[in-house]
Amino acid sequence: MPLKADLDAIDWKILRELQDDGRMTNVELSNRVGISAPPCLRRVRRLEEAGII
């Protein structure tokens, strides 16, 4: 499965922010990435399910 093709710019921002501070809240992460909290949490969960994080 080609993971790079499945990741967009927002996913990469999420990964970078979590790499810097993996203990931040979802609300803080969503603010830093520039999207609202519910879609941010969905993206994080999708990345977790894919084994990326």
Number of domains comprising the chain: 1
Cα–Cα distance for residue pair 33/8, rounded to 1 Å? 12
pTM of the model: 0.87
Closest to 7 in 3D by CA, of 16, 37, 31, 34: 16
User: The domain spanning residue 23 has which CATH number?
Assistant: 1.10.10.10
> Residue 7 sits in which domain range?
3-49
Nearest residue to 20 (alpha-carbon basis) of 5, 34, 32, 31? 32
Q: Which two tokens stand for residue 19?
A: 């790499």
Q: Are 44 and 29 in contact (CB under 8 A)?
A: yes
Residue pair 45/15 in contact by the 8 Å Cβ criterion: no
Query: pLDDT tens digit string along 11-27?
Result: 999 999 999 999 999 99
Percentage, residues of the chain above pLDDT 70: 91
